[in-house]
């Protein structure tokens, strides 16, 4: 619920540029009578509807980021079953906005069942954030976007992805876990007909600003010679409108004036779509976030510095 301001902004951009596409809100939450502020509930699928086998375990053990990312393959599976006439399903993070029709994306599916984007395609040569190592630790493909076409490779990948995320969609960089994203590094090795596109206009975001410059031609945004298909406003906070993104030190609006109009328009749309009201909504299922963070923190400390015999006693105490 707390991301519906961004999701409504994405929905508006789809309605404007790709009205032939069906847009659905896949909600990792439960409305439970809360105010949707004009969003049509008929276009919304609540996570309880899709019958995840270990749903209650996820709710109990995952934090909100882990939970929201773990449900992705289950939604893909549900939608392919529900809409048997649909050949192609594209997932987009709610903080994305599209800027053209999606014909260029559709064209990539002619020979490919799964389409993904890398975080960037040109080496980073400074020590500012995000670094290559930071991206390498969290996954070389950004799973804020993935597009799948009906086919054997797609269904095999979804089954494998569901298995991994059922119990191992966690954030724990010390043990090599980063939710759904890091698992997908293995996908092009295990499965065929996967395309990692280097189209510069797809999934432009703060992590690839070093290789992508925006311009306007004939009232349309371009990234170099590529039309801007969709932009990912990851880590942008409307409460801090002068900051490009959290976890970013490479650029600012002062050094990247090409980005100023884009972000200014996005900020206005978020406010109009009730961002500041939605952001206060807690997840229906995950009301013990602080306890989960503490438990995970102490679990990490125990693994690193506490002897095994004391670890067992502390573990019993924490569980109690």
Task: Report whether pLDDT(219) > 70.
Answer: yes
**CATH code of the domain containing 261:** 3.90.550.10
One domain, residues 144 and 264: yes
Same domain, 292 and 282: no
Per-residue confidence (pLDDT) for residue 163, from 0 to 100: 97
Q: Are residues 318 and 239 part of one domain? A: no
Task: List the domain range (segments joined by +) for residue 68.
Answer: 4-286
**In terms of domains, do 226 and 311 share one?**
no
Q: Are residues 206 and 299 in the same domain?
A: no
Confidence check: pLDDT of 24 > 90: yes
CA distances from 215 to 203, 257, 258, 259 (A): 16, 10, 7, 9
Burial (0-12, 13-18, 19+ Cβ within 10 Å), 306: middle
SS3 310: helix
145-165: per-residue pLDDT in tens?
999 999 999 999 999 999 999
* Beta-strand relationship, 114-116 and 96-98: unpaired
Confidence grade of residue 286 (pLDDT, cut at 50, 70, 90) = confident
Asked if 170 and 62 touch (Cβ cutoff 8 Å), the reply is yes
Confidence of residue 267 (pLDDT cuts 50, 70, 90): very high
Q: Clarify whether residues 11 and 105 are in a common domain.
A: yes
Arithmetic mean of pLDDT, 267-287: 95
Token pair listed for 89: 């399903």
Burial 73-89 (b: 16+ CB within 10 A, else e): bbbbbbbbeeeeeeebb
148 and 260 belong to one structural domain: yes
Q: What is the dihedral of CA 26, 248, 194, 66, to 10 degrees?
A: -40
* Inter-CA distances, 140 with 43, 65, 117, 119, 196, Å: 32, 19, 9, 6, 10
Lowest mean pLDDT among 49-53, 98-102, 172-176, 261-265: 172-176
Res 91: pLDDT: 98
How many structural domains are present in the chain?
Answer: 2
Taking 70 as the threshold, does the pLDDT of residue 312 lie above it?
Answer: no
């Amino acid at each position: 619920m707390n991301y519906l301001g961004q999701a409504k902004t994405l929905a508006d951009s789809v309605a404007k540029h790709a009205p032939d596409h069906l847009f659905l809100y896949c909600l990792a939450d439960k409305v439970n009578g809360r105010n949707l502020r004009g969003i049509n509930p008929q276009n919304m699928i609540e996570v309880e509807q899709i019958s995840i086998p270990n749903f209650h375990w996820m709710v109990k053990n995952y934090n909100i980021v882990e939970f929201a990312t773990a449900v992705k393959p289950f939604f893909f599976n549900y939608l392919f079953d529900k809409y048997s006439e649909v050949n192609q399903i594209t997932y987009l993070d709610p903080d994305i906005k599209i800027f053209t029709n999606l014909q260029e994306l559709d064209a990539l599916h002619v020979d490919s069942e799964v389409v993904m984007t890398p975080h960037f395609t040109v080496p980073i040569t400074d020590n500012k954030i995000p670094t290559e190592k930071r991206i390498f630790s969290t996954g070389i493909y950004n799973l804020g976007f993935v597009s799948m076409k009906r086919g054997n490779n797609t269904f095999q990948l979804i089954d494998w992805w569901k298995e991994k995320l059922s119990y191992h969609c966690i954030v724990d960089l010390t043990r090599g876990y980063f939710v759904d994203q890091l698992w997908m590094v293995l996908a092009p090795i295990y499965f065929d007909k996967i395309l990692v596109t280097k189209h510069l206009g797809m999934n432009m975001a703060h992590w690839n600003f070093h290789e992508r410059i925006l311009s306007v031609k004939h009232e349309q945004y371009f990234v170099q010679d590529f039309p801007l298909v969709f932009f990912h406003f990851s880590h942008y906070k409307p409460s801090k409108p002068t900051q490009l993104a959290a976890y970013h030190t490479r650029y600012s609006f002062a050094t990247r004036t090409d980005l100023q109009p884009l972000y200014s328009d996005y900020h206005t749309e978020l406010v109009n779509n009730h961002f500041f009201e939605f952001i206060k909504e807690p997840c229906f299922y995950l009301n013990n976030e602080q306890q989960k963070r503490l438990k995970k923190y102490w679990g990490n400390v125990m693994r690193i510095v506490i002897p095994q015999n004391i670890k067992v006693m502390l573990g019993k105490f924490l569980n109690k």
